[in-house]
Structure formats: C-alpha cells, structure tokens
Structure 1
C-alpha cells in the first residue's frame, strides 16, 4: 500500500482538528488547574469535614462551603433565593434482634445484611425451602407463601457463557427476586460467597442506619419479602441437616434441574426499625443562558461521603473521600469558575447551566432521586446531565500502564443519545485527547456502575447523561482515600474534558437527540 496518500490524509485530518478548536473555550478551560483544584479538595476532604456523611455536621459544612463558592462566582441561588434544595430524609435504624439457626446465633453486618425498609416482623419456622437458582423449573408448583426461602444469588451457568457470580444482582437475578416475591414468602435468604469479603470490608457501614426519602404522603407499607444477603458459612448452617454443604447443593443445581426442597431447621429471625427525620440539602448554583435560556445543562457531583470510621480501634478515624467524590465536587467548582469567568467576559452560555451538588449518593442516590422527582427546572427542558464521580485517582486496572495518567471511563454517553456520545468523543479528540475507556459502558456490566451514581436518576427520566469515572482502587470507601493520593493534573485534565463537552452542549444550535428508551441502553 502506498504510504504517501495516507500521510497526506493524516496531515489533512490533523489540520482540520486544529481548525475546529474554539480558542475562546480553550482560554477558559485553561482556568481549570491542578493548583486551584488542590485548594478546594484540601478543604472538602480535610478531617474537619469528618467524611461528609449525609445528615451529619461534616456534610453540612461541605454544603456551606460549596454554596459559598457558588456565591463568590456570581451564580444565582435558584431555590427561592437560596442555594439549598431541601431533601427530606428519614433515618431508619434496623435492629435484628434475633437471627438463629438451630439455636446458633448469627450477627448483622458479619454474617448477613438487609437492604431496604420493611415492617417489623418476627419469624419462626421449622423448615426452609431451598429453590436453587430460583428458575421456574426449580420452583415448580412449590407453595412458598409464608416460607423462608434459601436462594443461590448467582446467575445459573449456561453452556458457552461465563455466569455472573458477583453478589451485586444482575438484571436477570432482579427478575428472579421479583418472581420469588410474587409468591409471598416470608423472607428470602440470598447466598453468595462474595458476601463474606464484602462484609469484612464494609460490614460496619452496612449495619449502620439507612436513609430513605421521607414519604410525602401515606404510602402502602412494603409488603414484599425482605432479601437478606447471607454468607456461604451461614448457608452451610442452613443446609446442615441434609448432610451436604451449600457448595454441594449449588453444584447439583448448576448441572441439573433440582426441584425445590424442604430442609429441616429451626430458624428464628426478628427485626424492627426505628425512624427519625434527617436534615439534608442538595446545593444548586444557576447560570442563566441567553437565547436558549429555557433549556438547562446540568453538571452534577455528589459531595457526601461515608463519614467517620466506626472501628473504635482504627488509627485513622475519618473516611475523607478525597476521590469519592471530593474530586468530582472539586471538578464542578472548577468548571463553574471557568464558565463564570467566560460569562463576565461576555462569553456566557446560550443555554442555562445548573451546577448541582448532590447529597445522599452514598445512601442510595437520594439527593439526585429527590431532585429528579421534584426538579427546580423542568426535566423536559434539561438537555443533559454530565455527572462526575471519582476523577482524581488511577484505578486499579490502570496502575503501571502507559495510559495511567491519561484516561477516563465515560459511562452511559450513548445509552439514550448517540449524538451525545459523538459530542463527547469530538470534545476529547479536539482538545484533551484522553484515552476514553468504554469497558464499563454497559448496563449489564457486573459492577453495575451505570446504576450506581447520580446520573442514573436523570437517565431513568429520559435525560441523556455522561458519567465520568476513574475506576475503583484499594482505598475505595476506606480511610486511605486522602488528598495526598490525588493526581491533581489528571483531575484537572478530566475536568477540562467535561468542561469542553459542556461548552459545546451549552452553545450548539440544537440539543442532543434522544434516540433510545431510558434503561434499554445501546
């Protein structure tokens, strides 16, 4: 093949890319710096903010800091003259007063955990029903009403496919759970070998009180059977009377259709919940646009984290959350600074921009859920949410790789709008030239990252989104997630990519076309 024409094409492409650069956008992107980012993050992720747990003084300090910065930048306070958008929350303290199997006690946060809020219940049975992987063939005509059900919380193996065995439920398993709940069991015990490691790392926090959005009107109590996530060790105790281990039964279920079977046990499970109201706020800073001001672009990041370390013996008491998500919050402040300076210089955006600091993300995406259900600006007029959650570190999969300081994981950009995906790609190709790694850009990804940050509450309402993420690392949700480990030049470059993408979205003639159904993906 003749190399000369290829070289000429390459040179022409490079010239075109350079010609497409917007020098005005580049000027203000240059205001997003590692030095300025470090100033913000050193405050937000300091010990004084006590890990910014929702409903605690540290989160309130962070909210006040962000609001103060929005005011300095000249952003409008869009909530009846306030930067604070109240998110009514309730703290639900679940107390499992008994979980015994044949007289042997098991501990919440060590052997099992329960997510959600349920009516108080006392359950005592003399047998349980093992349903294998919970397929229709395994359940058959078995009556599950009022029973305690033991279920393998893994995808059932299929020939030619690698099953998802993570304790985080796949979409297929969510359907299995709904089917099981439709049969009105008393309790579902979901066994997975990964639960032990998860509880060893996060057990103290999963056993802590849970926050939920406060009911605005009386709602029917959740009558679905609660799903207890249990360790394989607890599952072994539950199947002990069969003379087999849980692993034996799982292996048999994986290779054949074993009908549901009763297993003799004396199981007692009692739990109750106490509730109290909690103060929490999203922080909103608003910049009105010009000729397209009725349309709104959102930049979002959650400012909350998981608070103080509950381990009394720990030397480091504060989960600082420098990367998660102090880095994203810092990115939002830097992007706001760039747009504010542009506006002061006469280069304000055509569309309006909302800078949204979400609370309660770590508690279940609560702040973004409440905002998206009660938007200050109509979601029909919201063109895109650019969400930043962890952009300050090198994720575990990039450590030691050539691109370790020049990549980001964009997630969800084409889930609802192929045009939005192209806009994000073009912004990167024209300016930042990061490696865009789409490994996790899949609603069926076992890690379920698409569903695990605030963008999802906009996506489920049909608002196109891009979620920017650096991947997890050894300090994820640990006290070691500190400012000293942040790569500030990389944080700034990733924030610049978000800025450039937002600049195009805020100023182009038409909003991105939505050409997919929310939740369906690409």
Structure 2
C-alpha cells in the first residue's frame, strides 16, 4: 500500500513539473541572458564615446555598426538585401534666424540668444513688450496675449518654467522671450530647435500644431538692452510682480531650413523551421538625445536606461535564441531582432519600418518592444517590490490570448510583479502611444511593451551605466525571452479577438 502511495505521489509531482516547465529548453537557454552580457553591451553603447547616440549623428551610426557586428557574431542573417542596416530617409527641419535686433542692436544667434521654434518663415516687429514678471496664470487670464511679444524670467526652476511656457503658448503670443537667471541653463534647449520626420512619411498618428510660439532665451545683459529706453534694468525688473508694458523696438526674422538626413534601423534575422513564414519581432531603440552642449563638464546624454538597457536586453535575448538554434533547438517561427533609430524624434525608425516592412506585417504575429528596463521608478522605490516589478503595456489591446501567454510565462518562470496601470485607457501618461510598439499596433500587430517607469535621471546626463541594476535588467529581459519562446514554438499564433 505504501509503495502505491509513493508511486502516485511521484507521478503527480512529475505531472506538476511538466505543467510548470512547459518548455524545459527555455530555462536552459534563458541562462545565456546574464548580467555579464547585458553589462558588456550597455557599457559600450552608453559610453561617452558614443556621444549620446542622437539620430543622424556620428554616435548613433557607431551604435548601429556595433549592433550589426554583434548580430554577425551570433550568425543572424542580414535580411535587408544582405545587410543588417535598413536605411531610413529623414528630413531635418532646422529653424534659422535671419536677423534679430533689439533697439537697433544686432544680436548674434548662439552668442547673444538661443532660438527655439517651428513653422513657416515669419517676420515679427514690435514696439512694445509685455513683461509679465511673476504674474500667476490666474492674473494673466485677463490679458489678451495673442500676437504680442512677452518677456518672462526663468529662475532656474525647470518644472515651473516648462509649465509656465506651456500656459503662455496656449495664449498664442507672437514671441516669448525668456531671461535665463542662471548661467549655463539648458532646461529649454537640449533639443536645439530642429526636428526630424520620415521622408514621404505620414504624421497622422502624432499631430503637431502648424504653429507654436517661438521662444528666445536671453541673458541679463541682453535684457538690459531691451530695458534701455524704459528706465529699467534687469535688477529692478526682478523685483516687479505685476505685468508692465516695456517700450522697446524689436525685429525678428526666421524660417525653416530643410536637410536630408540618413540613419539606420538594425535588423538581425533568425529563421524558423516548420512555421518560418510567421515572424516574431523583438525591438528596442538604440538612439538617444545626443550631446548637452549647454551643460557643465558632463556633456553626454548617455541614455543608459533609455534605451541602452532595452537594446542590451534584446542583444542578450538574441544570443539566447542563437545558442538554442546552434544546439538544434531553434524556433518554429522566425524571429526578427530589430533596433530602431529615431524613437526620441517621434518614433521615426519604427514608422519607417511600418511603411517599408522587410517582412509582411500580416505575417508578424507579435512585437515585443523593450524600452527602459534597468532602473526602479519613483512609484516602486523603497517598496518590497522595488527590484522585482515591471510595467506591461498593450498586452490585451488587440489579443487577450497574448495577455494570457505573457502572464503564464511570468507565473511559470520569472515571477515578477506585473503592473498594468499604464495599460489602462485612462492612464494619464498615455504611454501606449509613445514607444515603437505603437507603429506595429496601429497596423494590427499585437504588442507587449516592457517598461520600468520614469526616474529622476530620465533624459538627463545623469542617466549613467553605474545606476543600472543589471540583475533586474536581465530578469526583465528573461521574461521577454520566455514569452517569445512560447510564441515562436506554439501551434497557433495569438488570436486577434479585441475590436479596435
């Protein structure tokens, strides 16, 4: 009797084990996603040498070349006519100031002022400016600022000045002059006033106003030229609290200059077996925002978390699948590992791919997009789950089947706390629309977006490699690997069962 009980207990344990580890090889090859590998990649991609990887600049091209070499080492196929690079044609629009005069003093761009604007060529002339000092939004509501030139002071409080500018722009003045109270302030200018778009692309999903009030940053010395005929100076103006009119003659002429820019998406292809015509896409964006020419000693936006972490994670996932194929355990479906350019410029690389897909979108079963997985955000900091959580977005937007597959992979293998707050329709961040997965979702491809949330170093020069938690990065990448393993090896692709 005892032997029979032992036998049945053993049998049930075996059955449970089989149910728990549906794909025993998945655990074996997931061990290739290590902190050593992810740190190696990230330490290179987010180094100062790569100059912040800005789209169309030298650092980004260096990063694309590095990723290509890594794909070649893994013996991934080069699917773009024998190349790993998909050339992305972009148009850069830079605003050029033809002339700027204040009280007949000719000012020089870069030296005396910094310009940030968009739209068509325009000439602005004024004989008076409204100095709004520290007036509140409530106080300013009584003023009609449309078509006027306004002057404000930036006291170095970045969040406040950005909020104030947003409010002022909503009132559509002709021009906003901002006095920088602190030297080397870069809170408004790391974008330098230029913008990129896909050549012959569509901007329907990301509408931009045709005109937004231009902003000119000036220092106290130039401010005194403005006040010259009014009996004021910068020091006196700093103590004024109510809006006042300043008599000053101002002339500004500016307009757009167009230039063609080339950058590259980087694609590595792993061919499947019996279901090779169907495709799973892993993606991350390798670009960041470049150099901080207005800052102090640290002039590189390294972008270690955004999105060096995701890029490193996808490279590690590619290595795991490549090892599996090398040992005869390759995927049934094919896999495309794709690193996008231009995400920081409004999802340009993924937009270009969606317009010029190398593989049919209809055959693409899912996009697993990884954008920031190396840090802990404000919400989870100092909580029990600070090193064991992850936000998932988009899992059930097109396919509830995909959501179940993802949850099962986590429950079986990684056991992270999965947080879906950013997946909610009323989520204030609306982040579902703001990373590369969206260019797949809007074309009918189910997506999962892996994301750790924002932290104090987001889009700052302080987003450095030494702040990355590589154990957490690797574990999060393993979840994407396990989910992908199921997707490429199951009999049927995820069912599209959610109506748009």
Report the TM-score, using the length of structure 2 for normalisation: 0.74
The answer as to 2:442 corresponding to 1:457 is: no
1:22-421 equivalence runs, <5 A? 22-95=23-96, 114=117, 118-122=119-123, 148=147, 202-215=187-200, 225-228=210-213, 270-311=253-294, 313-421=295-403
Aligned to 2:20: 20
C-alpha displacement at 1:279, in angstroms? 2.1
CA distance in structure 1 between the aligned counterparts of 2:194 and 2:274, rounded to whole angstroms: 47
CA distance in structure 2 between the aligned counterparts of 1:202 and 1:294, rounded to whole angstroms: 48
Q: Deviations for 1:12-34, whole angstroms, at most 9, x for unmatched residues?
A: 99984762312111101111011
| Length, aligned pairs only | 430
2:53 touches 2:59 (CA, 8 Å); kept in 1? yes
Structure 1 459/119 Cα, relative in aligned 2: closer, same or farther at 3 Å? same
The answer as to 2:428 corresponding to 1:467 is: no
C-alpha displacement at 1:417, in angstroms? 1.3
Structure 1 406/35 Cα, relative in aligned 2: closer, same or farther at 3 Å? same
Structure 1 202/504 Cα, relative in aligned 2: closer, same or farther at 3 Å? farther
The answer as to 2:488 corresponding to 1:487 is: no
Structure 2 unaligned spans of 5+? 1-11, 129-136, 138-145, 150-161, 165-169, 217-241, 243-247
SS at 2:123's partner residue? strand
CA distance in structure 2 between the aligned counterparts of 1:431 and 1:190, rounded to whole angstroms: 56
1:391 touches 1:470 (CA, 8 Å); kept in 2? yes
Aligned partner of 1:442 among 402, 424, 429: 424
CA distance in structure 1 between the aligned counterparts of 2:70 and 2:276, rounded to whole angstroms: 23
CA distance in structure 2 between the aligned counterparts of 1:18 and 1:229, rounded to whole angstroms: 63
1:41 touches 1:483 (CA, 8 Å); kept in 2? yes
Give the CA RMSD over aligned residues: 4.3
1:85 touches 1:281 (CA, 8 Å); kept in 2? yes
2:201 touches 2:352 (CA, 8 Å); kept in 1? no
SS at 1:122's partner residue? strand
SS at 1:420's partner residue? helix
C-alpha displacement at 1:515, in angstroms? 2.6
More displaced, 14-23 or 369-378? 14-23
CA distance in structure 2 between the aligned counterparts of 1:445 and 1:224, rounded to whole angstroms: 23
CA distance in structure 2 between the aligned counterparts of 1:216 and 1:456, rounded to whole angstroms: 16
Larger radius of gyration: 2
1:113 touches 1:228 (CA, 8 Å); kept in 2? no
C-alpha displacement at 1:43, in angstroms? 1.0
CA distance in structure 1 between the aligned counterparts of 2:102 and 2:384, rounded to whole angstroms: 52
C-alpha displacement at 1:92, in angstroms? 1.3
C-alpha displacement at 1:59, in angstroms? 0.7
CA distance in structure 1 between the aligned counterparts of 2:318 and 2:311, rounded to whole angstroms: 11
More displaced, 507-516 or 327-336? 507-516
SS at 1:494's partner residue? helix
2:95 touches 2:116 (CA, 8 Å); kept in 1? no
1:77 touches 1:286 (CA, 8 Å); kept in 2? yes
More displaced, 31-40 or 268-277? 268-277
Structure 1 425/113 Cα, relative in aligned 2: closer, same or farther at 3 Å? farther
SS at 1:228's partner residue? coil
